[in-house]
Structure 1
Amino acid sequence: MIEQAWREASAGATRFIELGRARRWLLPFTTSLLATMFVANAISGSLTHSIAGHSLLNDVGYGLDPLRAGRFDTLITNIPFALYPWMLVTITFLVLIGVAPFEVVAGWRRTAVVFFASQVGGYLFASLLVAWPLSATGSAWGQSLATARDVGPSAGAFGCLAALVWYLPRRWQWRGIAALFLYFMGFLILTHQIWDIEHLIAGMIGLGTGWLLVERNHGAGIARTLNRFPWPHSRDVAVILVVLAGLLNVYSAFVTSTHFHTRTWDNDIPFAALHGSRTFVALSGLGLILLGNGLRHGRRVAWL
Protein backbone atom coordinates (compact mmCIF):
# COMPACT_ATOMS: atom_id res chain seq x y z
CA MET A 1 0.00 0.00 0.00
CA ILE A 2 2.84 2.37 0.84
CA GLU A 3 4.49 1.68 -2.51
CA GLN A 4 1.21 2.29 -4.33
CA ALA A 5 0.66 5.55 -2.46
CA TRP A 6 4.22 6.60 -3.30
CA ARG A 7 3.66 5.84 -6.99
CA GLU A 8 0.43 7.84 -6.99
CA ALA A 9 2.11 10.75 -5.25
CA SER A 10 5.03 10.67 -7.70
CA ALA A 11 2.69 10.53 -10.69
CA GLY A 12 0.65 13.41 -9.29
CA ALA A 13 3.74 15.51 -8.66
CA THR A 14 4.99 14.81 -12.18
CA ARG A 15 1.64 15.80 -13.65
CA PHE A 16 1.58 18.95 -11.52
CA ILE A 17 5.05 19.97 -12.72
CA GLU A 18 4.05 19.31 -16.34
CA LEU A 19 0.99 21.53 -15.99
CA GLY A 20 3.07 24.24 -14.35
CA ARG A 21 5.61 24.16 -17.15
CA ALA A 22 2.82 24.22 -19.74
CA ARG A 23 1.53 27.41 -18.14
CA ARG A 24 5.12 28.68 -17.79
CA TRP A 25 4.39 28.95 -14.08
CA LEU A 26 2.40 32.08 -14.82
CA LEU A 27 -0.36 32.37 -12.24
CA PRO A 28 -2.11 35.67 -12.99
CA PHE A 29 -4.93 35.27 -10.48
CA THR A 30 -2.71 34.24 -7.56
CA THR A 31 -0.15 36.92 -8.40
CA SER A 32 -2.82 39.62 -8.67
CA LEU A 33 -4.38 38.56 -5.36
CA LEU A 34 -1.09 38.62 -3.47
CA ALA A 35 -0.07 41.93 -5.05
CA THR A 36 -3.41 43.50 -4.14
CA MET A 37 -3.05 42.27 -0.57
CA PHE A 38 0.44 43.71 -0.23
CA VAL A 39 -0.45 47.09 -1.75
CA ALA A 40 -3.68 47.48 0.25
CA ASN A 41 -2.02 46.62 3.56
CA ALA A 42 1.02 48.77 2.79
CA ILE A 43 -1.11 51.82 2.00
CA SER A 44 -3.38 51.33 5.02
CA GLY A 45 -0.47 50.69 7.38
CA SER A 46 -1.85 47.29 8.42
CA LEU A 47 1.43 45.60 7.51
CA THR A 48 2.66 46.63 10.94
CA HIS A 49 -0.50 47.56 12.85
CA SER A 50 -3.75 45.78 13.61
CA ILE A 51 -6.95 47.15 12.10
CA ALA A 52 -9.08 45.62 14.88
CA GLY A 53 -10.89 48.51 16.54
CA HIS A 54 -9.74 50.85 13.77
CA SER A 55 -12.10 52.85 11.57
CA LEU A 56 -10.73 50.99 8.54
CA LEU A 57 -12.36 47.80 9.78
CA ASN A 58 -15.73 49.55 9.85
CA ASP A 59 -15.15 50.85 6.33
CA VAL A 60 -14.04 47.63 4.60
CA GLY A 61 -14.94 44.80 7.00
CA TYR A 62 -17.90 42.53 6.34
CA GLY A 63 -20.42 41.47 8.94
CA LEU A 64 -24.11 41.14 9.66
CA ASP A 65 -24.50 44.85 10.46
CA PRO A 66 -23.14 46.01 7.07
CA LEU A 67 -25.38 43.41 5.41
CA ARG A 68 -28.43 44.80 7.18
CA ALA A 69 -27.37 48.29 6.12
CA GLY A 70 -27.21 47.18 2.48
CA ARG A 71 -23.43 47.59 2.24
CA PHE A 72 -22.88 44.65 -0.08
CA ASP A 73 -19.65 46.22 -1.30
CA THR A 74 -17.97 44.97 1.89
CA LEU A 75 -18.22 41.45 0.46
CA ILE A 76 -15.43 42.53 -1.89
CA THR A 77 -13.66 45.38 -0.09
CA ASN A 78 -12.67 43.12 2.81
CA ILE A 79 -10.67 40.70 0.66
CA PRO A 80 -7.18 42.32 0.58
CA PHE A 81 -6.90 43.03 4.30
CA ALA A 82 -6.03 41.12 7.47
CA LEU A 83 -7.04 41.84 11.06
CA TYR A 84 -3.48 41.48 12.36
CA PRO A 85 -0.07 41.55 10.65
CA TRP A 86 0.59 37.92 11.64
CA MET A 87 -2.71 36.92 10.04
CA LEU A 88 -1.42 38.36 6.77
CA VAL A 89 1.39 35.80 6.90
CA THR A 90 -0.99 32.89 7.51
CA ILE A 91 -3.39 34.08 4.82
CA THR A 92 -0.52 34.39 2.34
CA PHE A 93 0.44 30.81 3.20
CA LEU A 94 -3.16 29.70 2.57
CA VAL A 95 -3.14 31.40 -0.82
CA LEU A 96 0.12 29.66 -1.72
CA ILE A 97 -1.11 26.17 -0.75
CA GLY A 98 -4.72 26.57 -1.90
CA VAL A 99 -5.16 29.13 -4.66
CA ALA A 100 -1.81 28.71 -6.43
CA PRO A 101 -1.91 24.89 -6.84
CA PHE A 102 -5.52 25.03 -7.98
CA GLU A 103 -4.64 27.65 -10.58
CA VAL A 104 -1.83 25.41 -11.84
CA VAL A 105 -4.16 22.47 -12.45
CA ALA A 106 -7.38 24.29 -13.31
CA GLY A 107 -6.38 27.62 -14.86
CA TRP A 108 -7.02 31.16 -13.71
CA ARG A 109 -10.65 31.37 -14.90
CA ARG A 110 -11.82 28.37 -12.88
CA THR A 111 -9.73 29.57 -9.96
CA ALA A 112 -11.46 32.96 -10.05
CA VAL A 113 -14.89 31.31 -10.15
CA VAL A 114 -14.16 28.99 -7.22
CA PHE A 115 -12.43 31.70 -5.19
CA PHE A 116 -15.15 34.33 -5.45
CA ALA A 117 -17.98 31.81 -5.08
CA SER A 118 -16.38 30.49 -1.89
CA GLN A 119 -15.34 33.89 -0.56
CA VAL A 120 -18.63 35.69 -1.12
CA GLY A 121 -20.78 32.63 -0.42
CA GLY A 122 -18.93 31.78 2.78
CA TYR A 123 -19.34 35.29 4.16
CA LEU A 124 -22.93 35.71 3.01
CA PHE A 125 -24.28 32.34 4.16
CA ALA A 126 -22.43 32.55 7.49
CA SER A 127 -24.39 35.74 8.16
CA LEU A 128 -27.76 34.61 6.81
CA LEU A 129 -27.80 31.00 7.99
CA VAL A 130 -25.85 31.18 11.26
CA ALA A 131 -25.18 34.65 12.70
CA TRP A 132 -28.61 36.14 12.01
CA PRO A 133 -30.71 33.21 13.37
CA LEU A 134 -28.49 32.77 16.44
CA SER A 135 -28.56 36.49 17.23
CA ALA A 136 -32.36 36.38 17.08
CA THR A 137 -32.34 33.82 19.91
CA GLY A 138 -30.54 36.29 22.15
CA SER A 139 -27.64 33.94 22.88
CA ALA A 140 -24.28 35.45 23.77
CA TRP A 141 -22.57 33.55 20.96
CA GLY A 142 -25.17 34.74 18.47
CA GLN A 143 -24.66 38.34 19.54
CA SER A 144 -20.88 38.07 19.19
CA LEU A 145 -21.26 36.58 15.71
CA ALA A 146 -23.70 39.30 14.68
CA THR A 147 -21.43 42.14 15.77
CA ALA A 148 -18.18 40.66 14.44
CA ARG A 149 -16.40 42.13 11.42
CA ASP A 150 -14.10 40.04 9.28
CA VAL A 151 -11.62 40.71 6.50
CA GLY A 152 -9.27 38.68 4.34
CA PRO A 153 -9.36 36.15 1.47
CA SER A 154 -9.02 33.05 3.65
CA ALA A 155 -12.53 31.80 2.83
CA GLY A 156 -11.78 31.88 -0.90
CA ALA A 157 -8.40 30.23 -0.32
CA PHE A 158 -10.01 27.40 1.64
CA GLY A 159 -12.59 27.04 -1.13
CA CYS A 160 -9.82 26.57 -3.70
CA LEU A 161 -8.05 24.12 -1.40
CA ALA A 162 -11.28 22.12 -1.11
CA ALA A 163 -11.81 22.18 -4.88
CA LEU A 164 -8.29 20.84 -5.31
CA VAL A 165 -9.48 17.58 -3.72
CA TRP A 166 -11.17 16.58 -6.99
CA TYR A 167 -7.79 16.51 -8.70
CA LEU A 168 -6.46 13.91 -6.28
CA PRO A 169 -6.50 10.19 -7.21
CA ARG A 170 -10.05 8.92 -6.89
CA ARG A 171 -9.43 6.80 -3.80
CA TRP A 172 -7.86 9.77 -2.00
CA GLN A 173 -10.67 12.22 -2.70
CA TRP A 174 -12.93 11.27 0.19
CA ARG A 175 -9.98 11.04 2.53
CA GLY A 176 -9.10 14.60 1.59
CA ILE A 177 -12.70 15.71 2.14
CA ALA A 178 -12.79 14.03 5.55
CA ALA A 179 -9.48 15.65 6.55
CA LEU A 180 -10.72 19.11 5.56
CA PHE A 181 -14.01 18.60 7.40
CA LEU A 182 -12.18 17.56 10.57
CA TYR A 183 -9.91 20.61 10.26
CA PHE A 184 -12.82 23.04 9.82
CA MET A 185 -14.88 21.52 12.62
CA GLY A 186 -11.89 21.35 14.97
CA PHE A 187 -11.17 25.06 14.67
CA LEU A 188 -14.86 25.96 14.91
CA ILE A 189 -15.24 23.91 18.09
CA LEU A 190 -12.19 25.52 19.69
CA THR A 191 -12.66 29.15 18.67
CA HIS A 192 -16.39 29.72 17.98
CA GLN A 193 -15.35 32.59 15.70
CA ILE A 194 -17.35 33.82 12.72
CA TRP A 195 -14.46 33.25 10.33
CA ASP A 196 -14.32 29.54 11.15
CA ILE A 197 -18.00 29.28 10.23
CA GLU A 198 -17.16 31.10 6.99
CA HIS A 199 -14.31 28.68 6.30
CA LEU A 200 -16.55 25.64 6.79
CA ILE A 201 -19.22 27.00 4.45
CA ALA A 202 -16.61 28.19 1.93
CA GLY A 203 -15.06 24.72 1.93
CA MET A 204 -18.42 23.15 1.06
CA ILE A 205 -19.00 25.71 -1.69
CA GLY A 206 -15.49 25.07 -3.02
CA LEU A 207 -16.15 21.33 -3.11
CA GLY A 208 -19.39 21.80 -5.03
CA THR A 209 -18.05 24.41 -7.43
CA GLY A 210 -14.82 22.51 -8.00
CA TRP A 211 -16.75 19.34 -8.82
CA LEU A 212 -18.77 21.23 -11.43
CA LEU A 213 -15.63 22.65 -13.04
CA VAL A 214 -13.36 19.60 -12.82
CA GLU A 215 -11.52 18.48 -15.94
CA ARG A 216 -10.97 14.91 -17.04
CA ASN A 217 -8.41 13.59 -19.47
CA HIS A 218 -9.75 11.99 -22.63
CA GLY A 219 -6.98 10.51 -24.75
CA ALA A 220 -4.46 13.14 -25.78
CA GLY A 221 -6.72 16.13 -25.15
CA ILE A 222 -8.49 17.59 -22.17
CA ALA A 223 -12.25 17.99 -22.35
CA ARG A 224 -14.44 19.91 -19.97
CA THR A 225 -17.08 17.53 -18.74
CA LEU A 226 -19.31 17.14 -15.75
CA ASN A 227 -17.46 14.60 -13.68
CA ARG A 228 -19.56 11.74 -12.38
CA PHE A 229 -19.95 12.31 -8.68
CA PRO A 230 -17.70 9.75 -6.97
CA TRP A 231 -20.03 8.39 -4.31
CA PRO A 232 -17.92 6.64 -1.67
CA HIS A 233 -18.08 2.91 -1.10
CA SER A 234 -20.23 1.91 1.87
CA ARG A 235 -17.12 0.55 3.55
CA ASP A 236 -15.41 3.92 3.17
CA VAL A 237 -18.41 5.62 4.78
CA ALA A 238 -18.26 3.16 7.69
CA VAL A 239 -14.54 3.75 8.11
CA ILE A 240 -14.96 7.54 8.16
CA LEU A 241 -17.81 7.46 10.68
CA VAL A 242 -16.14 4.95 12.99
CA VAL A 243 -12.77 6.71 12.95
CA LEU A 244 -14.48 10.09 13.42
CA ALA A 245 -16.28 8.74 16.50
CA GLY A 246 -12.98 7.43 17.82
CA LEU A 247 -11.21 10.74 17.26
CA LEU A 248 -14.03 12.60 19.01
CA ASN A 249 -13.67 10.33 22.02
CA VAL A 250 -9.90 10.76 22.20
CA TYR A 251 -10.29 14.51 21.68
CA SER A 252 -12.95 14.79 24.38
CA ALA A 253 -10.83 12.85 26.86
CA PHE A 254 -7.63 14.85 26.50
CA VAL A 255 -8.67 18.32 25.36
CA THR A 256 -11.89 19.18 27.17
CA SER A 257 -10.08 19.49 30.48
CA THR A 258 -7.46 21.90 29.15
CA HIS A 259 -9.26 24.28 26.78
CA PHE A 260 -11.59 26.84 28.34
CA HIS A 261 -14.11 26.59 25.49
CA THR A 262 -14.68 22.90 26.14
CA ARG A 263 -14.54 22.51 29.91
CA THR A 264 -18.33 22.39 30.10
CA TRP A 265 -18.68 19.58 27.58
CA ASP A 266 -18.66 16.70 30.02
CA ASN A 267 -22.35 16.09 29.43
CA ASP A 268 -22.19 16.47 25.65
CA ILE A 269 -19.24 14.35 24.58
CA PRO A 270 -19.66 10.74 23.37
CA PHE A 271 -20.16 8.16 26.14
CA ALA A 272 -21.12 10.87 28.63
CA ALA A 273 -24.33 8.96 29.33
CA LEU A 274 -22.21 6.06 30.56
CA HIS A 275 -20.47 8.32 33.09
CA GLY A 276 -17.15 6.74 32.23
CA SER A 277 -13.79 8.08 33.25
CA ARG A 278 -11.58 9.96 30.83
CA THR A 279 -9.37 6.88 30.62
CA PHE A 280 -12.37 4.79 29.56
CA VAL A 281 -13.37 7.36 26.95
CA ALA A 282 -9.82 7.56 25.58
CA LEU A 283 -9.44 3.78 25.37
CA SER A 284 -12.85 3.50 23.71
CA GLY A 285 -11.77 6.06 21.14
CA LEU A 286 -8.53 4.23 20.40
CA GLY A 287 -10.51 1.02 20.01
CA LEU A 288 -12.81 2.67 17.48
CA ILE A 289 -9.81 3.94 15.51
CA LEU A 290 -8.38 0.41 15.39
CA LEU A 291 -11.80 -0.86 14.34
CA GLY A 292 -11.88 1.66 11.51
CA ASN A 293 -8.45 0.58 10.36
CA GLY A 294 -9.67 -3.02 10.25
CA LEU A 295 -12.71 -2.01 8.24
CA ARG A 296 -10.49 -0.15 5.80
CA HIS A 297 -8.61 -3.37 5.08
CA GLY A 298 -11.86 -5.32 4.69
CA ARG A 299 -11.34 -7.60 7.68
CA ARG A 300 -14.55 -9.34 8.65
CA VAL A 301 -13.47 -9.63 12.25
CA ALA A 302 -13.47 -5.84 12.42
CA TRP A 303 -17.25 -5.88 12.25
CA LEU A 304 -17.49 -7.72 15.58
Structure 2
Amino acid sequence: MTNHKAWQRGNALAHRWTFTLLLVASLLIMALLTRSHVAALSQVWLQRLGFAPVDLWLARWDGLLTSALVTAGGLMFWQALLFVALTVGAAEWLAGTLAAFLAFWGVHLATLLLESLAIALPLHLMHLSLGTGLFVARDVGPSAGAFGALGLVIGLLPGPWRWIGGGVILAALLAVVLTASGTVDELTLQLTAELAHLIAFPLGWLIAARVDRHRKQPPKEVLG
Protein backbone atom coordinates (compact mmCIF):
# COMPACT_ATOMS: atom_id res chain seq x y z
CA MET A 1 0.00 0.00 0.00
CA THR A 2 2.82 2.37 0.90
CA ASN A 3 4.60 1.65 -2.39
CA HIS A 4 1.36 2.19 -4.29
CA LYS A 5 0.81 5.59 -2.64
CA ALA A 6 4.40 6.58 -3.34
CA TRP A 7 3.96 5.59 -6.98
CA GLN A 8 0.74 7.62 -7.20
CA ARG A 9 2.44 10.62 -5.62
CA GLY A 10 5.40 10.34 -7.97
CA ASN A 11 3.11 9.96 -10.96
CA ALA A 12 1.15 13.05 -9.92
CA LEU A 13 4.35 15.08 -9.59
CA ALA A 14 5.54 13.85 -12.99
CA HIS A 15 2.29 15.07 -14.54
CA ARG A 16 2.66 18.39 -12.74
CA TRP A 17 6.19 18.81 -14.13
CA THR A 18 5.78 17.16 -17.54
CA PHE A 19 7.41 19.92 -19.57
CA THR A 20 10.18 20.55 -17.04
CA LEU A 21 11.15 16.88 -16.96
CA LEU A 22 11.14 16.62 -20.76
CA LEU A 23 13.25 19.76 -21.07
CA VAL A 24 15.78 18.63 -18.46
CA ALA A 25 15.97 15.21 -20.14
CA SER A 26 16.58 16.90 -23.52
CA LEU A 27 19.41 18.99 -22.08
CA LEU A 28 20.98 15.89 -20.54
CA ILE A 29 20.73 13.91 -23.78
CA MET A 30 22.28 16.73 -25.81
CA ALA A 31 25.05 17.12 -23.25
CA LEU A 32 25.86 13.42 -23.46
CA LEU A 33 25.75 13.54 -27.27
CA THR A 34 28.15 16.50 -27.43
CA ARG A 35 30.12 15.49 -24.31
CA SER A 36 29.57 19.00 -23.00
CA HIS A 37 28.70 17.62 -19.57
CA VAL A 38 32.40 17.03 -18.94
CA ALA A 39 34.15 19.53 -21.21
CA ALA A 40 33.64 22.73 -23.15
CA LEU A 41 31.42 22.48 -26.22
CA SER A 42 33.61 21.97 -29.28
CA GLN A 43 33.66 24.49 -32.11
CA VAL A 44 32.25 21.82 -34.42
CA TRP A 45 29.14 21.44 -32.25
CA LEU A 46 28.91 25.19 -31.68
CA GLN A 47 28.82 25.82 -35.42
CA ARG A 48 26.33 23.00 -35.96
CA LEU A 49 23.91 23.72 -33.10
CA GLY A 50 24.43 27.38 -32.19
CA PHE A 51 22.60 30.44 -33.47
CA ALA A 52 23.85 33.78 -34.80
CA PRO A 53 21.65 36.64 -36.08
CA VAL A 54 23.22 36.30 -39.52
CA ASP A 55 21.65 32.82 -39.73
CA LEU A 56 18.25 34.43 -40.35
CA TRP A 57 19.54 35.71 -43.70
CA LEU A 58 21.39 32.48 -44.48
CA ALA A 59 18.19 30.44 -43.92
CA ARG A 60 19.87 28.45 -41.14
CA TRP A 61 16.81 28.51 -38.91
CA ASP A 62 17.35 25.20 -37.11
CA GLY A 63 19.72 26.95 -34.73
CA LEU A 64 16.78 28.90 -33.32
CA LEU A 65 15.72 25.66 -31.62
CA THR A 66 18.89 23.62 -31.19
CA SER A 67 20.77 26.49 -29.54
CA ALA A 68 18.46 26.27 -26.52
CA LEU A 69 19.30 22.63 -25.87
CA VAL A 70 23.09 22.88 -25.51
CA THR A 71 25.41 24.96 -23.35
CA ALA A 72 29.01 26.13 -23.41
CA GLY A 73 29.79 22.95 -21.52
CA GLY A 74 31.66 21.83 -18.43
CA LEU A 75 30.57 23.49 -15.20
CA MET A 76 28.34 25.87 -17.15
CA PHE A 77 26.23 22.93 -18.27
CA TRP A 78 25.44 21.89 -14.71
CA GLN A 79 24.75 25.49 -13.68
CA ALA A 80 22.40 25.94 -16.63
CA LEU A 81 20.67 22.63 -15.94
CA LEU A 82 19.99 23.63 -12.33
CA PHE A 83 18.78 27.10 -13.34
CA VAL A 84 16.41 25.65 -15.94
CA ALA A 85 15.08 23.01 -13.54
CA LEU A 86 14.37 25.63 -10.86
CA THR A 87 12.88 28.38 -13.02
CA VAL A 88 10.89 26.26 -15.46
CA GLY A 89 9.87 23.88 -12.70
CA ALA A 90 8.54 26.76 -10.59
CA ALA A 91 6.79 28.28 -13.62
CA GLU A 92 5.09 25.00 -14.49
CA TRP A 93 4.04 24.42 -10.87
CA LEU A 94 2.53 27.90 -10.53
CA ALA A 95 1.07 28.48 -13.98
CA GLY A 96 0.70 25.10 -15.67
CA THR A 97 2.40 23.30 -18.52
CA LEU A 98 1.22 25.54 -21.37
CA ALA A 99 2.33 28.75 -19.68
CA ALA A 100 5.71 27.23 -18.80
CA PHE A 101 6.13 26.04 -22.40
CA LEU A 102 5.37 29.53 -23.71
CA ALA A 103 7.62 31.15 -21.12
CA PHE A 104 10.55 29.00 -22.19
CA TRP A 105 10.19 28.35 -25.92
CA GLY A 106 8.08 31.38 -26.82
CA VAL A 107 10.39 33.76 -24.96
CA HIS A 108 13.51 32.02 -26.28
CA LEU A 109 12.41 32.45 -29.90
CA ALA A 110 11.08 35.98 -29.39
CA THR A 111 14.31 37.01 -27.67
CA LEU A 112 16.55 35.72 -30.46
CA LEU A 113 14.42 37.46 -33.08
CA LEU A 114 14.26 40.76 -31.17
CA GLU A 115 17.97 40.77 -30.41
CA SER A 116 18.76 39.95 -34.04
CA LEU A 117 16.38 42.38 -35.74
CA ALA A 118 16.19 45.26 -33.26
CA ILE A 119 19.77 45.36 -31.99
CA ALA A 120 22.35 43.35 -33.94
CA LEU A 121 21.14 44.16 -37.46
CA PRO A 122 20.74 47.96 -37.01
CA LEU A 123 24.15 48.25 -35.32
CA HIS A 124 25.70 46.12 -38.07
CA LEU A 125 24.15 48.32 -40.76
CA MET A 126 25.63 51.35 -38.98
CA HIS A 127 29.05 49.73 -39.58
CA LEU A 128 29.84 49.56 -35.87
CA SER A 129 32.40 46.89 -35.03
CA LEU A 130 30.42 45.82 -31.96
CA GLY A 131 27.27 45.58 -34.07
CA THR A 132 28.98 43.38 -36.63
CA GLY A 133 30.34 41.26 -33.81
CA LEU A 134 26.84 40.78 -32.40
CA PHE A 135 25.50 40.04 -35.88
CA VAL A 136 27.86 37.12 -36.48
CA ALA A 137 28.37 35.91 -32.89
CA ARG A 138 27.23 32.31 -32.50
CA ASP A 139 25.86 31.38 -29.10
CA VAL A 140 24.16 28.51 -27.31
CA GLY A 141 22.29 28.05 -24.07
CA PRO A 142 18.82 27.85 -22.52
CA SER A 143 19.23 30.99 -20.41
CA ALA A 144 16.85 33.18 -22.45
CA GLY A 145 14.03 30.70 -21.95
CA ALA A 146 14.99 30.24 -18.30
CA PHE A 147 14.86 34.00 -17.72
CA GLY A 148 11.48 34.01 -19.43
CA ALA A 149 10.33 31.39 -16.93
CA LEU A 150 11.81 33.46 -14.09
CA GLY A 151 9.86 36.48 -15.33
CA LEU A 152 6.69 34.39 -15.28
CA VAL A 153 7.35 33.25 -11.71
CA ILE A 154 8.16 36.74 -10.40
CA GLY A 155 5.17 38.19 -12.25
CA LEU A 156 2.87 35.80 -10.38
CA LEU A 157 4.11 36.78 -6.92
CA PRO A 158 1.43 38.29 -4.66
CA GLY A 159 0.91 41.98 -3.98
CA PRO A 160 3.86 44.36 -4.21
CA TRP A 161 6.43 41.56 -4.29
CA ARG A 162 5.99 41.10 -8.04
CA TRP A 163 6.94 44.75 -8.57
CA ILE A 164 9.76 44.72 -6.04
CA GLY A 165 11.21 41.44 -7.28
CA GLY A 166 10.73 42.35 -10.92
CA GLY A 167 12.23 45.80 -10.47
CA VAL A 168 15.30 44.52 -8.64
CA ILE A 169 16.01 41.78 -11.19
CA LEU A 170 15.41 44.07 -14.17
CA ALA A 171 17.66 46.75 -12.67
CA ALA A 172 20.39 44.16 -12.05
CA LEU A 173 20.17 42.87 -15.63
CA LEU A 174 20.30 46.42 -17.00
CA ALA A 175 23.29 47.26 -14.79
CA VAL A 176 25.18 44.22 -16.10
CA VAL A 177 24.60 45.37 -19.69
CA LEU A 178 25.55 48.99 -19.01
CA THR A 179 28.72 48.13 -17.11
CA ALA A 180 30.02 45.55 -19.59
CA SER A 181 33.58 46.32 -20.63
CA GLY A 182 36.54 44.87 -22.46
CA THR A 183 37.70 44.47 -26.03
CA VAL A 184 35.20 44.26 -28.88
CA ASP A 185 35.45 40.47 -28.87
CA GLU A 186 34.96 40.30 -25.10
CA LEU A 187 32.03 42.71 -25.24
CA THR A 188 30.44 40.71 -28.02
CA LEU A 189 30.52 37.53 -25.95
CA GLN A 190 29.16 39.30 -22.87
CA LEU A 191 26.42 41.30 -24.55
CA THR A 192 25.13 38.46 -26.71
CA ALA A 193 24.04 36.69 -23.53
CA GLU A 194 23.29 39.66 -21.26
CA LEU A 195 21.07 41.44 -23.80
CA ALA A 196 19.13 38.21 -24.23
CA HIS A 197 18.52 38.03 -20.47
CA LEU A 198 17.43 41.67 -20.39
CA ILE A 199 14.92 41.05 -23.19
CA ALA A 200 13.67 37.68 -21.94
CA PHE A 201 12.81 38.56 -18.35
CA PRO A 202 10.12 41.19 -19.12
CA LEU A 203 8.67 38.96 -21.84
CA GLY A 204 8.10 36.30 -19.19
CA TRP A 205 6.52 38.99 -17.02
CA LEU A 206 4.04 39.75 -19.82
CA ILE A 207 3.03 36.09 -19.92
CA ALA A 208 2.45 36.26 -16.16
CA ALA A 209 0.14 39.24 -16.64
CA ARG A 210 -1.86 37.27 -19.21
CA VAL A 211 -2.08 34.27 -16.89
CA ASP A 212 -3.18 36.51 -14.02
CA ARG A 213 -5.91 38.14 -16.12
CA HIS A 214 -7.16 34.74 -17.26
CA ARG A 215 -7.42 33.54 -13.67
CA LYS A 216 -9.47 36.57 -12.68
CA GLN A 217 -12.01 36.12 -15.46
CA PRO A 218 -15.35 34.78 -14.19
CA PRO A 219 -16.23 31.31 -15.49
CA LYS A 220 -18.46 31.32 -18.54
CA GLU A 221 -22.00 30.17 -18.00
CA VAL A 222 -23.06 27.10 -19.91
CA LEU A 223 -26.44 27.50 -21.58
CA GLY A 224 -28.66 24.50 -21.03
Category of TM-score, reference length = shorter chain: 0.7 to 0.9
Report the alpha carbon displacement of residue 149 of structure 1 after superposing the two structures with TM. Answer: 0.8
Q: For 1:55, which of 44, 51, 55 is the aligned residue? A: 44
Q: Partner of 1:180: helix, strand, or coil?
A: helix
Question: Are residues 1:172 and 2:170 paired?
Answer: no
Q: TM-score if structure 2 supplies the norm length?
A: 0.81
Report the alpha carbon displacement of residue 96 of structure 1 after superposing the two structures with TM. Answer: 2.7
Report the alpha carbon displacement of residue 23 of structure 1 after superposing the two structures with TM. Answer: 8.6
Report the alpha carbon displacement of residue 185 of structure 1 after superposing the two structures with TM. Answer: 1.1
Q: What is the one-letter code of the residue matched to 1:109?
A: L
1:38 corresponds to which residue? 28
Question: Are residues 1:89 and 2:87 paired?
Answer: no
Report the alpha carbon displacement of residue 43 of structure 1 after superposing the two structures with TM. Answer: 1.1
Q: What is the one-letter code of the residue matched to 1:225?
A: Q
Q: For 2:217, which of 187, 210, 225 is the aligned residue? A: 225
2:152 corresponds to which residue? 163
Distance 2:85 2:41 in 1: 23
2:210 corresponds to which residue? 212
Q: Partner of 2:94: helix, strand, or coil?
A: helix
Report the alpha carbon displacement of residue 22 of structure 1 after superposing the two structures with TM. Answer: 11
Q: Partner of 1:91: helix, strand, or coil?
A: helix
Map 1:77-116 to 2 at 5 A: 77-116=66-105
Instruction: Name the CA shift for 1:225/1:199 in 2 (closer, same or farther; >3 Å).
Output: farther
CA contact (8 A) 1:162 1:180 kept: no
Report the alpha carbon displacement of residue 49 of structure 1 after superposing the two structures with TM. Answer: 2.4
Instruction: Name the CA shift for 1:24/1:132 in 2 (closer, same or farther; >3 Å).
Output: same
Task: Flag as ranges the 4+ runs of structure 1 deviating above 3 A.
Answer: 21-24, 223-226
Q: What is the one-letter code of the residue matched to 2:201?
A: G
Q: TM-score if structure 1 supplies the norm length?
A: 0.61
Distance 1:210 1:117 in 2: 13
> Can you list the C-alpha shifts for 1:230-260, whole angstroms capped at 9, x where unaligned?
xxxxxxxxxxxxxxxxxxxxxxxxxxxxxxx
CA contact (8 A) 1:94 1:158 kept: no
Instruction: Name the CA shift for 1:49/1:190 in 2 (closer, same or farther; >3 Å).
Output: farther
Larger radius of gyration: 1
Distance 2:10 2:39 in 1: 40
Report the alpha carbon displacement of residue 190 of structure 1 after superposing the two structures with TM. Answer: 3.8
Which sections of structure 1, spanning at least 5 residues, go unmatched? 1-20, 217-222, 227-304
Q: Which has the higher helix share?
A: 2
Question: Are residues 1:153 and 2:139 paired?
Answer: no
Q: What is the one-letter code of the residue matched to 1:36?
A: S
Q: What is the one-letter code of the residue matched to 1:199?
A: H
2:19 corresponds to which residue? 29
Between the aligned residues of both structures, percent identity stands at 26
Equivalent residue pairs, number: 199
